[in-house]
Amino acid sequence: MEQEKDFLEREIQRLSLVLKTLTDRVLKIEPEGNDSDFEDVNNSLKEEFGFSIESFGELEQPDLIIKIKEFHHFQIDELAELLYLMVKSPNAKWKTQGSKIKSINNITFLIEYLNQHSTTFSLDRMRLESSLRLLKETID
């Protein structure tokens, strides 16, 4: 029992570190920089979490709930922040604007899920939700 708890705690820490590392990498990508840097982050996201930024938008809400139930609330916050940075990046390549909007909608859903299921109030979450709304308005 204790070993399982230790394993889960290590896995939680590892995933948090992965999310922070990916977020740092996205923040360091120059707007007109090398697209391969962005693709490396996107591939890492797919390897660790099973979706890329574009395929994240294709997830239906029930499937998204199943995926995020594996995470702690603070990891969902970190994931939402990473996905937001990736969506707004000029290095992201979208097949259509519709797929970008779907990704924005799913990130917004993550935030709404957290607001309903987390006991922690977050100003950062409110800021992110507002930023997503503004980003979506610029696309529509």
pLDDT tens for the chain, 140 residues: list them.
677 777 878 888 888 999 999 999 998 887 776 678 889 999 999 999 999 998 999 999 999 999 888 888 889 999 999 999 999 998 888 878 889 999 999 999 999 999 999 888 899 999 999 999 999 999 86
Using CA atoms, how far apart are residues 131 and 114, in angstroms rounded to an integer? 16
Asked if 111 and 125 touch (Cβ cutoff 8 Å), the reply is: yes
Return the pLDDT at 133: 95
Return the pLDDT at 129: 96
Using CA atoms, how far apart are residues 103 and 129, in angstroms rounded to an integer? 13
**Residue among 23, 89, 25 at smallest CA distance from 54:** 89
Please state, in angstroms and as integers, the Cα–Cα distance from residue 117 to each residue in 25, 64, 110, 121, 122, following that order: 29, 15, 10, 11, 12
Angle at 83 between CA 110 and CA 117, to 5 degrees: 20
Asked if 132 and 111 touch (Cβ cutoff 8 Å), the reply is: yes
**Residue 44 sits in which domain range?**
2-139
Asked if 42 and 89 touch (Cβ cutoff 8 Å), the reply is: no
Helix (H, G, I), strand (E, B) or coil at 15: helix
Return the pLDDT at 1: 66
Tell me if the pTM is above 0.85.
Answer: yes
Domain count, the chain: 1
Please state, in angstroms and as integers, the Cα–Cα distance from residue 136 to each residue in 54, 59, 108, 116, 140, following that order: 15, 18, 10, 22, 6
